[in-house]
Amino acid sequence: MLTAMAVVTLFAPSLIMISRCGTALLWLGLVLGTLIQGATWLTIKLRTDAAWLDEQLARDREP
């Protein structure tokens, strides 16, 4: 997604000649997609890290 956003940004002058509104909507869609993907990844990572840490702490408490 970040690569696609970079390509759209790089070719923005050419794309604007075709469609100004379309270029803006394409870039906005890529930004929103990146934010949603990042938030989802972060949520899953934090849950996984918490589960791993709980498992390690439980293992350390066992005699």
Q: What's the pTM?
A: 0.71
pLDDT digits (tens, 9 = 90+) for 3-60: 888 888 888 888 888 898 888 899 999 999 999 999 999 999 999 999 999 999 999 8
Give the model's confidence band at 2: pLDDT under 50 very low, under 70 low, under 90 confident, else very high.
Answer: confident
Domain tally for the chain? 1
Range of the domain at 54: 2-61
How high is the pLDDT of residue 39?
A: 97
Work out whether the CA dihedral 27, 30, 34, 40 comes out positive or negative: positive
Contact between 45 and 37 (Cβ < 8 Å): no
pLDDT at 12: 86
Amino acid in the structure at residue 15 = L
Given a contact cutoff of 8 angstroms between Cβ atoms, the answer to whether 58 and 22 are in contact is no
